[in-house]
Every structure is written in structure tokens, then in C-alpha cells.
Structure 1
Amino acid sequence: MLVTSQTLPAGARCERYGSEAIDLDALVAIVGAGRGCTLQCAAAPAAIWLPLHGRLQLTGPDGTQTLAAGELVVTEASQRVQARGTGAALWLVVAGGRLAWEQAFAGLVEHPRGEAVLLPGRQRADAMLRRAALRLARAARHAPRDAYDAAVAFAALVAELQAEYEPLVARCPGRTLAQRRAVFARLQRVHQYLRANCHHDLDIDHLARMASYSSWHFIRAYSDVYGRTPHVALVAYRLERARELLMRSQLAVAEVALASGFENRCAFSRLFKRRFGVTAISLRHAARLAA
């Protein structure tokens, strides 16, 4: 397994990975640093995205999501992805073809032969994992002999994180592990789409088609796996978005409600207090006092 590294300085705009590169058997660690640094992938291989400092704006088929330090997103192969750091952000992506990931994860996770090792999703990434990713990038750049060991150490921590999905995969319909993982991957795409687009008016039939289900089967499968209906998940994501906007923007509370997908201000206020235990106005005042 070959491991390479690249650094994108402030203002750099880089385009990588056309469709011909999907099967590459090497891992590449790309570090983005500084304002205006952008990476565009027309058809990226499976990748792990990590903001190390500041925020990373990630745009893909499922919409745009903003990651803060301490978060991680896994994107699937063949997706069009654009990454852009905000402000003086420092971020890192580790990308590679199926063979490269299989070698890195050899013996660490159970997955059917020929299936993707990484499962898509958004999770918390602790400081140890972020340091391991940075060590991988540095080793690939300055100490190629150590890069393989650094890649395996990084993969071991990612495998521990991905193990959180095992109970969810087990709840998916399917006779074999491969079938259950395939169903989970489809549901995860919808799950990510809900999170990134919660402020829009989403149609259940469209979500069901994304998961290759009828509407009734989709609601049932989603509820069985995640323990709540798509509608309950949508409202939860809208409330999380509203909390972020209240703490980080200058929008009025009514504007925050609309920007988060709530058309009824009273319903928003009631749901917000039920979810967080304080009113939206109280949360904003507390955030301003803490700043």
C-alpha cells in the first residue's frame, strides 16, 4: 500500500480524481490550510474528512454540511465532493481506493469480500484520532518508511469508531452481512441528506426513493434502525440547526426559526424549550454573555 501526502496552502484550488482514479490502490492524505483553500473531486474515492482547527464546509450529492473540529465524515466512492475551509481552518482528508482501504483495515473490521470497508456517516472524532490523521499526513510527506504503520494506526482508530454502526447494521433487513451493510449504507445516505437539508421542505417519497424503498417500507426500516421516524429525526436536526444559528449568527429569533425550516414561530418556541430546556432567547443571551 502506497501512502502519499499533499498540502494545499491558503487560496489554493485543487481538482483531483476523475472517474479513472476510483480504483487506485494508494492512500493519499491531503492537508488544507488557510483561507480560501478548496479541494474539488469530480469522482472521489472513499474518503475520511477531518477538520483539525476551525470549520470545514463539505458539499456533495447530499447537500452542504459544515464540520467543526471534533467531527468526522466518511464519504463513499464515486461521489462528487467539494471541500472548503472557512477562515483560517486546518483540515485533512484521507482518501483511497478499495484495495488500499482493505489493506489498511486488514483484520480490523468484518466486511464481506468485495464490499466497501468504510461505512458512510458523520461521527465524533476525538483528539487521539485527529492526531493520528496528522501523523499519517506528516509520515507520508517526510518519512515514507513510517507511512504504512501510520496508516494502519489511523485505520485502527477509525475501525473503533465505525464499530458504533454494528448494532445499527444488525437491525437492517437482509439475510447476509453484505445485504445488511448495503441497506445500512442506503439509509445512511438518507440520514446524511436529512441532516444537511433539514431547513428545506423535504418529501417523504423522495427520501424513500433515495433509499430504494416504497414510502411505507422506508419509514419502517428507518425507524427500526435509528429508533425514530424520519419526521422525528428531521425536527431534531432543525432544532440543532436553530441552536447553532442562535449561538453564531445575528439573525432574529423569528428569522432563525424560518432559516431552520420552522414556519410556525410558536411551534418552534415550544419545541425548542422542550428539547433544550431553555427558550431560544435565553440561549442567545447566555451565548452572548459567554462570548
Structure 2
Amino acid sequence: MFASHHAPSGASRPPGAAAAFECRYQAGSADWIGGPGLALVAGFEGITRIRTAEGQWSLAAGQVHVVEGPLVVFADRGDRPAWGVVAGTAAEWGTALGELGIPAARRFVPPGEYRLEPVQLDRLRALCLLAGRVSTHRALGILDDFGRWHRAVLEQIDRCPGRSLGQRRRVHARLQRARNLLRARCTQGYPTRHAASVVGYTVGHFQRIFHRVFGETVQGFVLRQRLEVARHLLETSQLSVGDVGLAAGFESRWAFARQFRHRFGATAGAFRRNALACADATAQRPPPGSAPAAPRTAARVPNVSRYPDDARLPAA
């Protein structure tokens, strides 16, 4: 387990304290441990990793997940990470949703994947950069379209089976746990069977409900996760292209090559060459505001052609 740099989000508040979120922005390999509340975790750059009771999975740049604690958010320095967290108790999230005018019965934030446009991601980064306790009112002043994110996940709950909202919420929570398991175990064989058994469904029933709620098949979701793992390995590892496909869970190099090209529009080898070229260009670029480097003069090399092969070169 990792050392904590943060008091758990579920810690008690002083009586009468205003509802507020705990905001954190991190560029680098430090970690964050969240308590039993809800944490909105955003990947801004590189690869961020999340660990929960269901397992561990990666969050790519531009992805945002709401995760129910306890959890650990961390990253390796080699992944060039930058990530942010907005955490609060269920009551604090409920207060925020009440300020948006959402009916009392729907003042909850379901765990799940939230899809953000670039401008929304920039606003979320600005909120995380405030770093500390931020009032729910001020937070929503920055995330002025959070209600739209919220409605998108509530629509998933409405598609879940159940006679009441409470029943549908419980089904959605079970499906979300299964989804996290699929993410964490996507490179292993038969993750669908394992995820279905954990949430108490038969494989066929699980596949039907998953497709109905999330709008994609279980197989399509697992394939998407495997391709993201492969993309990360191509950018950061020394494995051959064929071994990357096998490490990402594909049964053959041919199947990996076909699916990767279909998904990203380029072969895996071309993708790796382009990623390495971009990384080299970024490494050679001087930091903003730095003085231009002085022109380098060529060092003088003595003309050794007139010396015998066994003669010593003149001392510099």
C-alpha cells in the first residue's frame, strides 16, 4: 500500500461546517488515498492508475471516473502523469446537486465513467488546481455544466431493470463493479465469466443487461480496454510489437495487428515510431521562457593522417 498524502475524504467535518469538496492536482508519481466517500478522478496527461476492491486499472489522459471509496490513485513517474481529484461525502455531493436544482430523489452521483469535452476537462483541471477545501458553490461555478455529466449517467440507471429508482441504482452499482473488474482483468482470459459470477448473474444475462445499460457489448468493452493497454505499452515499453499484443490479452499477433489498425488507423509499428518521434521532439524542446542555447562550435580534431598507425596522438 502507498503512503498517504491526504486525509481520507470520508473524515468527519466540524458541526455546522459548510459543504465543500477536497480538490487535489498532482503532476508526478505521488499517490492519494480516498476514504468511503465519492471521488471524481481525472487523467489530464500520461497514465494514472486507480486501485479499488475490484482491482487496478489505468486512466488515460482525458478520461474521468467517479469511484466509490476506499481507493488509491497513483502513477509511475515513467508514465509522465498529471491527474486531479475532487472528493466529497455523499452529503456534500447531494448539496452540490441541490444547488443545481436537481430533485431530491436524484441528488446522488453514480460511480461510473463520465465523458467530457476538452473545454470541460480544462474547467475540471482549474478546479483541481485550487488544491484544498473548495465550497460546493464555488466548485459548481467552475463546473457550470456538471448537471449534463450527471444526467448522462442517470440515463444509464434508467435503463437498468427494476421497479423503483432504488432497485435500479443497486443494479447499476453491481454493473459498475463488474465494469471495473473487466477493466482490471482485461488482459486475462475469460474476464466476462468472472465479472458475471462476482455480481451474481449468468453470463448471458450479464451480457444482455450490460449492452442495454452501457450501449456497447461486453466483448467490445474488453477489446477497447485491451487496445488502450497495448497503446500504452507501445509508448512506454521495449517489448516487440507482437509481444505487446500478447501482453495486452490478444490470442495472436495477427488478431492484435488487425484490431489495432482498425481502432487507431495505423499499424502498431507506425504508431510506436510516431510516438517515439513525438517524445524525442518534446524532450529536445527548451522549457518556456528559457534563453536560447548558444550556437555550438565544432571542436577541432587533429589531422592524424600524417602520423604512423602506431604513433601516439599529440597531447591536447
Q: Distance in 2 between matches of 1:242 and 1:287?
A: 13
1:164 aligns with 2:155: no
Q: Distance in 2 between matches of 1:191 and 1:108?
A: 29
1:40 aligns with 2:33: yes
Give the structure 2 partner of residue 264 of structure 1.
252
1:159-199: CA deviations, max 9, x gaps? Answer: 21232224433322122333223322221222232123211
Instruction: Sort the Cα spacing of 1:116 and 1:17 in 2 relative to 1 into closer, same or farther, 3 A.
Output: farther
Give the structure 1 partner of residue 100 of structure 2.
108
Residues 173 and 183 in structure 1, CA contact (< 8 A), matched pair in contact too:
yes
Instruction: Sort the Cα spacing of 1:19 and 1:283 in 2 relative to 1 into closer, same or farther, 3 A.
Output: closer
1:10-41: CA deviations, max 9, x gaps? Answer: x984253397759x984332424454422223
Give the structure 2 partner of residue 63 of structure 1.
55
1:118 aligns with 2:120: no
- The root-mean-square deviation of aligned C-alpha atoms, in Å, is 3.3
Identity of aligned residues (%): 31
1:247 aligns with 2:235: yes
Q: Distance in 2 between matches of 1:49 and 1:74?
A: 6
Task: Report the residue type matching 2:7 in the other structure.
Answer: R
1:106 aligned counterpart, secondary structure:
helix
Q: Distance in 1 between matches of 2:186 and 2:101?
A: 32
Displacement, 1:45?
Answer: 0.7
Give the structure 1 partner of residue 286 of structure 2.
none
Residues matched between the structures, number: 272
Alignment of 1:166-205 (within 5 A): 166-205=154-193
Instruction: Sort the Cα spacing of 1:31 and 1:163 in 2 relative to 1 into closer, same or farther, 3 A.
Output: same
Q: Distance in 1 between matches of 2:98 and 2:6?
A: 30
Instruction: Sort the Cα spacing of 1:250 and 1:156 in 2 relative to 1 into closer, same or farther, 3 A.
Output: same
TM-score by length of 1: 0.77
Gaps of 5+ in 1: 1-10
Correspondence for 2:70 among 71, 80, 91: 80
Instruction: Sort the Cα spacing of 1:137 and 1:275 in 2 relative to 1 into closer, same or farther, 3 A.
Output: closer
Displacement, 1:261?
Answer: 0.6
TM-score by length of 2: 0.72
Instruction: Sort the Cα spacing of 1:84 and 1:257 in 2 relative to 1 into closer, same or farther, 3 A.
Output: same
Instruction: Sort the Cα spacing of 1:27 and 1:55 in 2 relative to 1 into closer, same or farther, 3 A.
Output: farther
Q: Distance in 2 between matches of 1:81 and 1:242?
A: 25
Q: Whose strand proportion is higher, 1 or 2?
A: 1
Q: Distance in 1 between matches of 2:257 and 2:46?
A: 30
1:79-99: CA deviations, max 9, x gaps? Answer: 331122443744332221121
**Structure possessing the higher radius of gyration over alpha carbons:** 2
